[in-house]
Amino acid sequence: MFTAFDIEIAAEIPEWTEDWKALRPLGISCAATLTETGELNLWHGAEQPDGRYAERMTPAEVDDMTGYLLGRAEYGAPVITWNGLGFDMDILQEECTEAMADMIHLLARYDHIDMMFQLFCERGFCLGLDAAAKGMGLPGKTEGMHGDLAPKMWAQGREQQDLVLQYVAQDVRTTADLYLAILQRRRLDWTSKSGKPANWAPTLRIVDGDARHPRMMTVDECLRLPEPDTSWMSTPWPRSKFAGWLKPAREVLEIPTTIKPKQLTREEQLALFAEE
């Protein structure tokens, strides 16, 4: 079981902007979730009198979406993303209500599998979703579209908003298909920027003692890995680039090695984030 997840931001990003987060709050225009059974949900703000959807999802609407993710996680379906720790989850915890924020910290750490973050933790570098998908023989992202176009299109009216919804739906399908392909092959293949074939065999975990049904590592498990050798890099990125927004957690409870969040009460989970 899993829930693939992807968001699109509402704020328009000026050309050549290197750090999008410096412009926050970025808002969420829309998002998509996709389950292992193929159930696709598109999330967005309320329809306006002129027929277009709201510019941004409200905190209450973001809470509803988060509640869906939490509910799925309670029954053993982790959230699956590509760079979700460094982007989607960070934006999510900023756009929700204050009452939901701590739950997102828990979700992002313990019930979340960020494929790119695991690659980064084990190999020391990152890779784009489209390159990873096409390296595995998948269609990849929507041709001609990219994330910084989505906010501009969303602001133009319902017709363009429908195209953005198609785009985020394709991104979440790509995320889900890539996750399944990696588990099936037990590796990720891609073509490097220099044109050479590259691959990575991620560390996998066994679900409920059944070797036929592995999973990739949660964010928390990735954070416990030793740092990879990045001596060949001139300026390697620290893990804090992606995980720096997470609240510090005290190791007061043993976290299970398989994703079963209901083994811990919410009070026990929240206790992990008490200040030192």
User: pLDDT (tens digit, 0 to 9) for every residue of the chain, 276 residues total?
Assistant: 999 999 999 998 887 777 777 788 999 999 999 999 999 999 999 999 999 999 999 999 999 999 999 999 998 999 999 999 999 999 999 999 988 988 999 999 999 999 999 999 999 999 999 999 999 999 888 777 676 789 999 999 999 999 999 999 999 999 999 999 999 999 999 988 888 999 999 999 987 777 778 999 999 999 999 999 898 889 889 998 999 999 876 532 334 433 444 344 445 445 544 443
Looking at residue 145, what is its pLDDT?
66
Looking at residue 182, what is its pLDDT?
96
Long-range contacts of 211-216 (CB under 8 A, 24+ apart): 214/183, 214/186, 215/78, 215/113, 215/183, 215/259, 216/113, 216/115, 216/118, 216/179, 216/182, 216/183
Looking at residue 137, what is its pLDDT?
93
Locate 93 and state its tokens.
């915890």
Omega before residue 25 within 30° of 0, cis: yes
The CA R_g of the chain, rounded to the nearest whole Å, is 18
Q: How many C-beta neighbours within 10 Å does residue 93 have?
A: 21
User: Domain boundaries in the chain?
Assistant: 3-247
Looking at residue 140, what is its pLDDT?
82
What three-state secondary structure class fits 236? coil
Looking at residue 252, what is its pLDDT?
27
What CATH number does the domain located at 3-247 have? Answer: 3.30.420.10
Looking at residue 12, what is its pLDDT?
87
Distances (CA, A) of 53 to 25, 48, 258, 264: 19, 6, 39, 38
Looking at residue 21, what is its pLDDT?
75
